[in-house]
Amino acid sequence: MANIINIITKIIDIGVVWFMFYTILKYAKTNVKLILILKGVLLILVLKILSGLLNLNTVAILLEYVIEWGFLAIIIIFQPEIRSVLEDLGRSNLLGRHKVLTVDERERIVYEISNAIDYFKKNKIGCLLVIERDYSLGEYMEAATKLYADISSELLVSLFFPNNPLHDGAVIIEGNTVSCAGSILPTSINPAISKRLGTRHRAALGIAEVSDAIAIVVSEETGRISLAVNKELNYNITIDELKVLLLEELKPKKEIFYEADEEVEVEEGGMSDEKDSQIL
């Protein structure tokens, strides 16, 4: 019994360490400063090993002090980056989506949003729509005007209609509900963004950088449609392209298995029908 408990404990221990390394590497992939931290730590460890092998006593003593106080220095110097990583972990929903949308619900949401976006495009009305997915956007809803209304193109058009007090903020959608309007989002500081893009586009990319949300923008100057998702901005897309991207991004992660099962059932049903026809 004791051996089984020891084995389970070791498995849990290895699993926790693996998860920590996986999380660090996952966020290091998109965070330049975190990559620099990892490179610095790796360099210090290599120098420590070499100083021991080559009997570099003075270097070894200095590196011991660096290792002893280095982690505290890293926490102080890179506090914003560490906080950002912890915030991302806190926003992530480990149990998946808040609400898994059915096929009909997804199609209805895309239909209502695309109708509103098409109206904004034709009339050059600026808008910023954000669709929440696995990461919670609760912190951006706190100071916004709460609505909790069923989604409709008429509601979206009225919210972004010129001279509306909520016109300049973002509308956040949870599932098939318009949760709030007038939300203030973080703006991206990515230097690669064109200077011609305004605050709405920077806010759309900003929320796509700190979460997995989908942000849709219509420029009030040109009427062009853009979609920000997965830390990227798809600029000047058509209504049809918007529909395709939304339907693809709103799919639940496990839907492909359900579709495969349904196809198998249909094929089996078709085969049985063919057999019945042959028997008849």
Confidence at residue 260, expressed as pLDDT on a 0 to 100 scale: 43
Count of CB atoms situated within 10 Å of the CB of 139: 12
Confidence at residue 146, expressed as pLDDT on a 0 to 100 scale: 92
The arrangement of strands across the sheet holding 170-174 comes to 145-150, 177-183, 170-174, 127-132, 214-218, 225-229, 232-237
Along the 280 residues of the chain, how does pLDDT read in single tens digits?
Answer: 677 888 888 888 888 888 777 776 666 555 556 667 777 778 878 887 888 888 888 878 887 877 777 777 777 766 666 666 666 555 554 444 455 678 888 999 999 999 999 999 999 999 999 999 888 888 888 889 999 999 999 999 999 998 888 888 899 999 889 999 999 998 988 777 887 888 999 999 999 988 889 999 999 899 999 999 988 999 999 999 999 999 999 887 654 444 444 444 444 444 444 434 433 3
What global pTM score does this model have?
0.61
| Domain residue ranges of the chain, discontinuous segments joined by + | 2-91, 103-251
Confidence at residue 98, expressed as pLDDT on a 0 to 100 scale: 52
Q: Is the Cα torsion angle 200, 202, 205, 206 positive or negative in sign?
A: negative
Per-residue DSSP letter, 92: -
CB 47, CB 63: distance < 8 Å: yes
Looking at domain 103-251, its CATH architecture is 3-Layer(aba) Sandwich (3.40)
Strand intervals (E) in the chain? 127-132, 145-150, 170-174, 177-183, 214-218, 225-229, 232-237
Compute the residue count for the chain.
Answer: 280
